[in-house]
Amino acid sequence: MIDFSPSEDLQALTKKVANFVREEIVPMENDPRQGPHGPEESLRQDLVSKGREAGLLTPHAPVEWGGLGLDNMGNALVFEAACYSPLGALALNIQAPDEGNVHLLDKVATDEQKDRWLRPLSEGRIRTVFHMTEPDGGAGSDPSLMKTVAKDDGDSYVINGRKWLISGIGAPGVGLNIIMAKTESVSGEELGASMFLLDGDVPGMKIVRTLDTMDSNTVGAHCEVTYDDVRVPKDQILGEPGKGFRYAQIRLAPARLTHCMRWLGQAVRCQEIAVDYARERVAFGKPIGEHEGVGFQLADNETDLHLARLSTWHCAWILDQGQKGRRESSLAKVFVSEALSRVVDRCVQVLGGLGITADTIVERTYRDIRAFRIYDGPSEVHRWAQARDIMRGA
């Protein structure tokens, strides 16, 4: 039987997070250290300091590496409460890609690697970057198209190639780059993709450009990067050579789900703002929420929020049972990303002209949430994979 009822400790923690975000983080939402390429690193550090003082930092990381050690159901409640504000994820150190990288390092890295990178990451002292996607026909929805190559050169690998849409790399504070590349032996034999761990400052790695994108919620934005004879000592490979795609799957199922949890929090806030407006704003003799055209949009939002939460919790529960949850996380990712996009879109509509101004967080949420239907697998790719499973009776 599925039991979603949270323990008393978890209820208390969720309440603490909700109060912390409302009292400490919401008042910072108009901090001027935010622009089209995201919040500045100094703002992130101020937010992390607040999260640390409150004892709420990195709730998903294991206790031994500096986190609170929550399971997936715990994350579901706490992440939603934290992301009531667009700055809440930074304050609790649960922003992508750092959040997913914590999980990946915890599951695959050696103790030495964990000490070097997982500990400072969990303590909010560094940010991390995940390099997979490529321009010019390389790795994207289909990662097997990867062109970046890491060649075995004796005691190290040498990486050459180009990637783009690499989040977070365009600002100070990066202490770890996780680079995926096709691996070749000394004799040129293909060994499959591997993951490599490199410090923040990497000789031979260059940011070619910072992309101008419709979202603006990532410290360090999204960049195009080149690797020109980047040398990685062999003890900085993550796990075993050739197992990169398997490790990417370990990272993906929980990472998809935590996107659902975070966006749920922000969509709930948008709905609150829309409901307040619909109660206050009078047109044609009554509050606009009493006109069916508006009231039904608010009702549809409640349905989408409710089902998005159920889908997220169900998948969290499955992962907590020790199952891989690949199929469920894929289903949840498609449904939740599309349901919450509908919610935020309706909120813009209910707010009228106010909805397209930056006077509420609805406008930035509308811009930021669009990419959720693309990253960690576009909706169509998830549907295609599901359809393939259906047709072969899997």
Question: Which residue's Cβ has the minimum distance to ligand FAD?
Answer: 140
Rounded to the nearest whole angstrom, what is the least distance from the CB of residue 376 to ligand FAD in the complex? Answer: 6
Of 49, 141, 349, 357, the one binding ligand FAD (CB under 6 A) is: 141
Rounded to the nearest whole angstrom, what is the least distance from the CB of residue 61 to ligand FAD in the complex? Answer: 19
Binding range to ligand FAD, per CB under 6 A, among 28-36, 72-80, 262-270, 375-383: 375-383
Does position 227 interact with ligand FAD (CB under 6 A)? The reply is: no
Does position 222 interact with ligand FAD (CB under 6 A)? The reply is: yes
Of 95, 128, 133, 329, the one binding ligand FAD (CB under 6 A) is: 133
Rounded to the nearest whole angstrom, what is the least distance from the CB of residue 284 to ligand FAD in the complex? Answer: 40
Rounded to the nearest whole angstrom, what is the least distance from the CB of residue 329 to ligand FAD in the complex? Answer: 15
Rounded to the nearest whole angstrom, what is the least distance from the CB of residue 174 to ligand FAD in the complex? Answer: 12
Rounded to the nearest whole angstrom, what is the least distance from the CB of residue 350 to ligand FAD in the complex? Answer: 26
Provide the token pair at 74: 């715990």
Nearer to ligand FAD, 58 or 133 (CB): 133
Nearer to ligand FAD, 110 or 379 (CB): 379
φ, ψ of residue 282 to 5 degrees: the values are -105, 135
Amino acid at site 55: G
Does position 366 interact with ligand FAD (CB under 6 A)? The reply is: no
Does position 177 interact with ligand FAD (CB under 6 A)? The reply is: no
Binding range to ligand FAD, per CB under 6 A, among 27-35, 44-52, 162-170, 339-347: 162-170
Binding range to ligand FAD, per CB under 6 A, among 37-45, 52-60, 161-169, 346-354: 161-169
* Three-state secondary structure readout of the chain: CCCCCCCHHHHHHHHHHHHHHHHHHHHHCCCCCEECCEECHHHHHHHHHHHHHCCCCCCCCCHHHCCCCCCHHHHHHHHHHHCCCCCHHHHCCCCCCHHHHHHHHHHHCCHHHHHHHHHHHHCCCCEEEEECCCCCCCCCCCHHHCCCEEEECCCEEEEEEEEEEEECCCCCCEEEEEEEEEEECCCCCEEEEEEEEECCCCCCEEEEEECCCCCCCCCCCEEEEEEEEEEEEHHHEECCCCCHHHHHHHHHHHHHHHHHHHHHHHHHHHHHHHHHHHHHCEECCEEHHHCHHHHHHHHHHHHHHHHHHHHHHHHHHHHHCCCCCHHHHHHHHHHHHHHHHHHHHHHHHHHHHHHHCCCCCHHHHHHHHHHHHCCCCCHHHHHHHHHHHHHCCC
φ, ψ of residue 196 to 5 degrees: the values are -125, 145
Does position 380 interact with ligand FAD (CB under 6 A)? The reply is: yes
Nearer to ligand FAD, 73 or 169 (CB): 169
Q: Which residues contact 193 (CB under 8 A, 6 or more apart)?
A: 143, 146, 180, 181, 182, 183, 242, 244, 245
Rounded to the nearest whole angstrom, what is the least distance from the CB of residue 103 to ligand FAD in the complex? Answer: 15
Does position 194 interact with ligand FAD (CB under 6 A)? The reply is: no
**Cα 244 from chain centroid?**
19
Provide the token pair at 164: 């783009």
Of 58, 128, 167, 258, the one binding ligand FAD (CB under 6 A) is: 167
Rounded to the nearest whole angstrom, what is the least distance from the CB of residue 202 to ligand FAD in the complex? Answer: 16
Of 130, 227, 247, 335, the one binding ligand FAD (CB under 6 A) is: 130
Interface of this chain with ligand FAD, residues 82 to 121, rule: CB under 6 A: 97
Of 49, 203, 228, 384, the one binding ligand FAD (CB under 6 A) is: 384
Nearer to ligand FAD, 4 or 384 (CB): 384
Would you tell me which residues interact with ligand FAD (CB under 6 A)?
97, 130-133, 140-141, 165-167, 215, 222, 371, 374-375, 378, 380-381, 384
